[in-house]
Amino acid sequence: MTKPGNRFGWNALLLMTTAFTAFGVATQAQAQDQVQSVEDVIVTATKRAENLQDVPISVQAIGAERLDELNISDFADYAQHLPTLSYAPTYGPGYNRPFMRGVASGENGNHSGSMPSVGTYLDEQPITTITGNLDLHLYDIARVEVLAGPQGTLYGASSQAGTVRIITNRPDPEEFSAAFDVEANTIQDGGLGQSGEGYVNIPLSSRVAVRLVGWAEHQDGYIDNVQGTRFYPTCHLGPPPAQTPTCQPTGVLDENSDVAEDDYNTVDTYGARIALGIDLNESWTVTPQIMGQRQETNGVFAQQATVGDLAVMHWFPEWNSDDWIQAALTVEGTVSNFDVVFAASHLNRDVDSNQDYADYGFFYDTLFYYGCYFVDNAAVGACDGFTGGVLQGDPINPGQQVEGRDSYERDTYELRVASPAENRLRFILGAFYQHAEHRIHQRYYFSEDFRDAYEVTGNPDTIWLTEQLRTDEESALFGEVSFDLTQNLTGTLGMRAFQTENSLRGFFGFGAGFSGTTGEAACFGPPTLANEPCTNLDKSTEESGELYRANLQWRIDDDRMVYATYSEGFRPGGINRRGTLPPYSADFLDNYEIGWKTDWANGRLRWNGAAFFERWEDFQFAFLGASGLTEIQNAGDAEIRGVETDLQWIPIDGLYITAAATWLDSELTNAVIADTVEGTPLPVAPDVKFDMTARYEFPVGAWDAFVQGGASYVGERSIDIRQTEAALIGDLDSYWTVDIAAGVERDGWRLSGFIDNLFDERGVTGRYTECAIGTCFGEPYDVVIRPLTVGVRIGRRFGG
């Protein structure tokens, strides 16, 4: 049976397309100087600058003009228009984890867990971090490239399922150019937002230029933290041997008036980029660049079904501050007709946060009688005699908060050499090295005075502490060789030899007075990191191997090409913190793909696509085990079948239509971990994802005007591969969104208005619980798309 929402979405799409076509035919006679053919996009996905239509891999790219037309400013914006790309949002900006082609097992993004399966690059430098990609504000960007499928030979670890590349505009010594844009918007059920962006490109000489970019944005909130109360029964099991449940007659009543607030999930983003372009001579260019951003968020970006639409009831302050800066150097030149590129970067990222974790205490108190684990310093109290007299005191509010700090440092270096692209036999050879350190601090603490004897040493009111240093290292040699077998037939072979190392040391767990077996009780050495009481974790693991790629490209004619590819990708293994568990191994993805890239109707119609089959072996699965500790296991094998396609069409002058879609069919083929069944679909990614936009440009007097509309569809998704957890938390429903815009331009000035999420849909992009699903399933959180947003933009272009 077709859902009403789906019928509405398809009808809206049909109506929008018909209206644009009719409007275009009616005004075609007035159109002047419009684009006559689909614009070519130059990409560097294969480490060479090539026309996208000549690249024999699945690449989708959004160029500078389209980024501007679609008002794309962050990850969620471009993910909406790239169906092969999906993501699992949780706590808000900076925590989005991208996935491609359905290669997802439901990873929880824990700092001690698996690396992402999709790599993210800023120009030549990787910016992937384990808890989520850098949520870079996009302005003055040349293009966003999405390389679907394993990119292991050229991009290595964490490009197992694909790679996202954000390419910035370079300094241009040829001419001065500048621009600015300002925006004001208002959100349904929210408040006012605004942004200001600008850049200037200044030639300093015929060989030197500097490019300065800056941005500031305020996004107002739309989630209300409503005022209310919560009752903790503060039960205990009573003295042995009977241990019958006994609840305190009064319990603990909590209220949240001090943190209740409307529209409290605000986002403030500030950033800048400076790049210097130096042409040393006709052959060599040096480009140093520094980019930094601060993003401050408040609240949560999800709603609670038990509370209401766009609402939660939380008990403690919630905020996140994400600061990062990256310094990069790219040197490019030619030696005896060979192109040489050296790229180096240093990334520093600090994420400070405080999160509400009250659900954990509530459900463990209510379901498992944990109230008397959380007591004060009373010498004689209501919990005396609990578990044989080990614990005593009066119960405190069991609600917890989590104080977090994640500090990342990463150094990367790559050197590669490429022979001339016009040679019949050509190659790319390279070497890569990366060293990343991740300093992890997480303190689970109470707002009331927790019993001194049970605290983690040196950390007041703290029941659990994590102080760890994670190190990930990768070194690799890679190469690809292409040979023109005939004038129209080219074969390519690629290989990457890699070595990875993962280590984890520090402390995690309870205080010695609280647990006699874990935490401080399991320490074997003195502290090696600041703030840790002692060391109970020091593990490392190493892996090495090779990845291969083979490709055959047939150019049917100047406008049409087909290709076949076999490629491999991997994701490094790592350490399990729990002492009884071994390290988890790398997982590998084998990809078999047939694709096509075609132009028709004298360049007015472009249709590209690929059909693929992928086999995911020993895939990593992260879940919460005992004491809420993340465990990672190699969970078995899976297969994914799919088709992805995109179309660009100019039916008449001035009318530009784009459409893209992905269809997926995935299943477990070897279920290893408990409560999983062969045939279960993989979670997170929808079986169908679709996007379409139509834009019509026409003159109005001395002005150039446009109207634009777009519709996006995301199909149903599951959350977990385990049968019990999946049943408890449910699937995510499909949803449509519709966006419209209109504007005018003259003499460099631009004025436009837009409405995003025109029909104010509550599309659910993710669902999570604060603790293990089997315990906290009674309070699921739905991450929803932004409500209906109305805005206006004004900007100016100079030079260029």
Tell me: the pLDDT tens digits for 430-456? 999 999 999 999 999 999 899 999 999
Strand 229-232 versus strand 224-225 pairing type: unpaired
Model confidence pLDDT, tens digit, residues 70-85: 999 999 999 999 999 9
- The pLDDT score that the predictor gives to residue 383 is 65
- How far is it, in rounded angstroms, from Cα 689 to Cα 674? 30
* Sequence letter at residue 162: G
521 inside domain: yes
User: pLDDT-derived band of residue 33, with 50, 70 and 90 as boundaries?
Assistant: very low
For the chain, the average pLDDT equals 90
- What's the whole-number mean pLDDT along residues 507-533? 93
394 inside domain: no
More confident residue, 111 or 190: 190
Model confidence pLDDT, tens digit, residues 528-557: 999 999 999 999 999 999 999 999 999 999
Range of the domain at 114: 4-223+263-357+399-799
535 inside domain: yes
- The pLDDT score that the predictor gives to residue 8 is 42
CATH number for the domain spanning 495: value is 2.40.170.20
User: pLDDT-derived band of residue 232, with 50, 70 and 90 as boundaries?
Assistant: confident
Domain count for the chain, please give it: 1
793 inside domain: yes
327 inside domain: yes
Question: Tokens representing 185?
Answer: 């918007």
376 inside domain: no
Strand 400-418 versus strand 338-356 pairing type: antiparallel
Residue 17 has pLDDT above 70, yes or no: no
Question: Tokens representing 611?
Answer: 């059909």
- The pLDDT score that the predictor gives to residue 392 is 67
Lowest pLDDT segment from 423-427, 559-563, 632-636, 701-705? 632-636
- The pLDDT score that the predictor gives to residue 250 is 63
Residue 240 has pLDDT above 70, yes or no: no
Q: Which long-range contacts (CB under 8 A, 24 or more apart) does 245-253 make?
A: 245/369, 247/371, 248/371, 248/382, 248/395, 252/371, 252/395, 252/396, 252/397, 252/398, 253/229
373 inside domain: no
- The pLDDT score that the predictor gives to residue 244 is 57
More confident residue, 722 or 392: 722
Model confidence pLDDT, tens digit, residues 367-389: 877 777 788 888 766 665 554 44
Model confidence pLDDT, tens digit, residues 261-277: 999 999 999 999 999 99
- What's the whole-number mean pLDDT along residues 681-702? 95
- The pLDDT score that the predictor gives to residue 235 is 67
The predicted model scores a pTM of 0.90
Residue 237 has pLDDT above 50, yes or no: yes
- The pLDDT score that the predictor gives to residue 643 is 98
- The pLDDT score that the predictor gives to residue 238 is 52
- The pLDDT score that the predictor gives to residue 115 is 86
Query: What residue has token string 């394993």?
Result: 150
Could you give the percent of the chain with pLDDT greater than 70?
91
370 inside domain: no
